[in-house]
Amino acid sequence: MAAAASSVVQLDLRGVKCPLNWARAKVRLERMRRHEVLELMLDDPRGVRDIPNAAEAEGYAVIECVRVDGAWRMRIER
Protein backbone atom coordinates (compact mmCIF):
# COMPACT_ATOMS: atom_id res chain seq x y z
CA MET A 1 0.00 0.00 0.00
CA ALA A 2 1.51 3.33 -1.04
CA ALA A 3 1.55 6.14 1.49
CA ALA A 4 -0.42 9.16 0.31
CA ALA A 5 0.59 12.70 1.21
CA SER A 6 -1.34 13.99 4.19
CA SER A 7 -4.03 16.45 3.28
CA VAL A 8 -4.22 19.73 5.16
CA VAL A 9 -7.45 21.26 6.43
CA GLN A 10 -7.25 24.96 7.36
CA LEU A 11 -9.20 26.61 10.15
CA ASP A 12 -8.86 30.32 10.94
CA LEU A 13 -9.59 30.89 14.63
CA ARG A 14 -8.25 34.43 14.89
CA GLY A 15 -10.59 36.41 17.12
CA VAL A 16 -11.91 33.26 18.83
CA LYS A 17 -10.99 33.03 22.52
CA CYS A 18 -10.07 29.98 24.59
CA PRO A 19 -11.74 27.52 25.25
CA LEU A 20 -14.04 28.05 22.25
CA ASN A 21 -11.09 27.87 19.84
CA TRP A 22 -10.20 24.37 21.12
CA ALA A 23 -13.85 23.28 20.93
CA ARG A 24 -14.03 24.31 17.26
CA ALA A 25 -10.69 22.67 16.47
CA LYS A 26 -11.74 19.45 18.20
CA VAL A 27 -14.99 19.25 16.23
CA ARG A 28 -13.04 19.64 12.99
CA LEU A 29 -10.43 17.05 14.05
CA GLU A 30 -13.15 14.52 14.86
CA ARG A 31 -14.49 14.83 11.29
CA MET A 32 -11.08 14.28 9.69
CA ARG A 33 -9.45 11.03 8.59
CA ARG A 34 -6.38 9.56 10.21
CA HIS A 35 -3.11 11.28 9.17
CA GLU A 36 -4.86 14.41 7.92
CA VAL A 37 -3.42 17.64 9.31
CA LEU A 38 -5.44 20.50 10.77
CA GLU A 39 -3.73 23.87 10.32
CA LEU A 40 -5.01 26.45 12.79
CA MET A 41 -4.40 30.19 12.75
CA LEU A 42 -4.72 31.62 16.28
CA ASP A 43 -4.24 35.00 17.92
CA ASP A 44 -5.24 34.05 21.48
CA PRO A 45 -2.14 33.40 23.66
CA ARG A 46 -4.16 31.15 25.99
CA GLY A 47 -5.16 28.99 23.05
CA VAL A 48 -1.56 28.72 21.90
CA ARG A 49 -0.64 27.56 25.39
CA ASP A 50 -3.62 25.26 26.04
CA ILE A 51 -4.52 23.69 22.69
CA PRO A 52 -1.34 21.60 22.33
CA ASN A 53 -1.90 20.05 25.77
CA ALA A 54 -5.57 19.37 25.07
CA ALA A 55 -4.84 17.93 21.62
CA GLU A 56 -2.15 15.59 22.92
CA ALA A 57 -4.41 14.49 25.79
CA GLU A 58 -6.97 13.47 23.11
CA GLY A 59 -4.34 11.46 21.21
CA TYR A 60 -3.55 13.95 18.44
CA ALA A 61 0.00 14.93 17.46
CA VAL A 62 0.98 18.61 17.50
CA ILE A 63 3.55 18.86 14.72
CA GLU A 64 4.11 22.62 14.58
CA CYS A 65 3.43 25.82 16.45
CA VAL A 66 5.10 28.93 15.04
CA ARG A 67 4.50 32.67 15.15
CA VAL A 68 3.44 34.11 11.79
CA ASP A 69 2.56 37.77 11.15
CA GLY A 70 1.28 38.57 14.66
CA ALA A 71 -0.58 35.27 15.02
CA TRP A 72 0.37 31.62 15.47
CA ARG A 73 0.13 28.75 13.03
CA MET A 74 -0.43 25.40 14.67
CA ARG A 75 -0.54 22.08 12.85
CA ILE A 76 -2.17 19.07 14.47
CA GLU A 77 -2.22 15.61 12.93
CA ARG A 78 -5.23 13.40 13.47
- List the CATH number of the domain containing 36: 3.30.110.40
> What total number of domains does the chain contain?
1
Domain membership of residue 60 (yes or no) is yes
pLDDT of residue 28: 98
Strand order in the sheet with 8-12: 8-12, 37-42, 71-77, 61-68
Domain membership of residue 69 (yes or no) is yes
Q: What single DSSP character describes residue 25?
A: H
Model pTM greater than 0.75? yes
Query: What are 12-31's pLDDT values in tens digits?
Result: 999 999 999 999 999 999 99
* Residues spanned by the domain of 67: 8-77
| Mean pLDDT rounded to a whole number for the chain | 93
Domain membership of residue 3 (yes or no) is no
